[in-house]
Amino acid sequence: MPPAPDGGNGAAHHAPSLSLVVPTYNESTRLADGLDRLRAAAREGALDLGATELVIVDDGSTDDTLAIARGLATQFPVARVVALPRNEGKGAAVRRGLLTARGTKVVFADADMAIDPTLLPSMLDALDRAHVAVGSRAVRGHVDYGTRLRTGAGRAFNLAVRGLGGVRLADTQCGFKGFRLGAARLLAQLLTTPGYAFDVELLWLADRLDLDVEVVPVTWLDVPGSSVRVARDSLEMLRDVLAARRRAHLVAAATIDGDVPAPAPEGTVVVRGGRTTMLCGSVEQLAELRRATGDGRAPRLLTLDDLAGLRPLELEPAAGSQP
């Protein structure tokens, strides 16, 4: 079972319009400043904190990040902290956040808020038109990382990703991406990469499912203290990209006859394609739901090809599946 959310102010009785997912790992010196930037953006009118759910996912930090996150969460109207029991990687933390989110739109952002959070309205506007919105720091097709070595490594990585990962974007690694809630849940269920290359896999999955993707230009600050080292980590990320392409991408599904059962398990999504309507989640969740409704049919596993064959897909969060 996934770790339970803790800390914060709890959840509102109605779904927020935005869930902001913030993955953290040993961010004790940067998280408070990042959330200060978020509050400043709210004061400028970029977001309504009362209609925003803040979801901080701690990825098994070994410093006091978790305690700091719990304290900071109490300063927001709607906020929760999800604590992973061990360090699994940024992709695993974002995945858990996407599955936990309740907002009709979901954005994940780095703990330092290096991407200017006043740009959130542009991200949300894009999600009115597309399933996925991707922040891009690229200028004239490239991202400047501040030094010749980091910029060169970043460009080499992007070129390799375009060739090996099947993603045609100039900036795949920007830590600022948004999703409609249904798309967030389905992509998270399919995601297999726990480390930094998860962004590439998410974008590749969106492309395979023919989801609409819109690029949103963003500005950023190179905040000191990041655990990412572009030159050092690029080779490992490329290995992860190749591994993700070879893995089986499976999602558990239960065919729905009639109305969608409510309340549905947390993180589940209704997938409609052609004449098929399914509820997708984990095998355990769907088996439990089948037992509760007296339906003896076992959930089945769908491949990425199965889902792609249902295009165009209609995705929506299952009713009552918010925590």
The predicted-structure confidence for 78-118, as pLDDT tens digits, reads as follows: 999 999 999 999 999 999 999 999 999 999 999 999 999 99
pLDDT over 70, % of the chain: 85
> Would you say 269 and 185 are in contact if contact means Cβ atoms under 8 Å apart?
yes
First to last CA, the chain: 14
Q: Is the pLDDT of residue 132 over 90?
A: yes
Element (H, E) at 95: helix 90-100
Q: Name residues whose C-beta falls within 8 Å of residue 202's C-beta, 6 or more positions apart in sequence.
A: 132, 177, 187, 191
Q: Is the pLDDT of residue 12 over 50?
A: no
* Residue 262: predicted pLDDT: 75
* Residue 105: predicted pLDDT: 98
* Residue 140: predicted pLDDT: 54
C-alpha 49/C-alpha 41 separation (Å) is 10
Q: Encode burial over 87-97: b for 16+ CB neighbours within 10 A, e otherwise.
A: bbbbbbbbbbb
At 4, the pLDDT band (50, 70, 90 cuts) reads: very low
C-alpha 159/C-alpha 81 separation (Å) is 36
Domains (range + CATH), the chain: 5-246 (3.90.550.10), 250-317 (no CATH)
Q: Is the pLDDT of residue 323 over 50?
A: no
* Residue 141: predicted pLDDT: 56
Q: Is the pLDDT of residue 163 over 50?
A: yes
Q: Cα dist. 309→58, 84, 210, 303 in Å?
A: 36, 34, 10, 10
Query: What are the DSSP calls for 200-253, one per residue?
Result: HHHHHHHHHTT--EEEEE--B---TT-S--HHHHHHHHHHHHHHHHHS--EEEE
As a whole number, mean pLDDT of residues 208-215 equals 95
Q: Is the pLDDT of residue 274 over 60?
A: yes
Query: What are the DSSP calls for 118-178, one per residue?
Result: GGHHHHHHHHHH-SEEEEE--BTTB---SSHHHHHHHHHHHHHIIIII----S-S--SEEE
> Would you say 205 and 187 are in contact if contact means Cβ atoms under 8 Å apart?
yes
> Would you say 93 and 59 are in contact if contact means Cβ atoms under 8 Å apart?
yes
Mean pLDDT for the chain? 87
* Residue 1: predicted pLDDT: 39
As a whole number, mean pLDDT of residues 45-70 equals 98
The token duo for 28 is: 């004790």
C-alpha 121/C-alpha 46 separation (Å) is 6
- The SS3 of residue 14 is coil
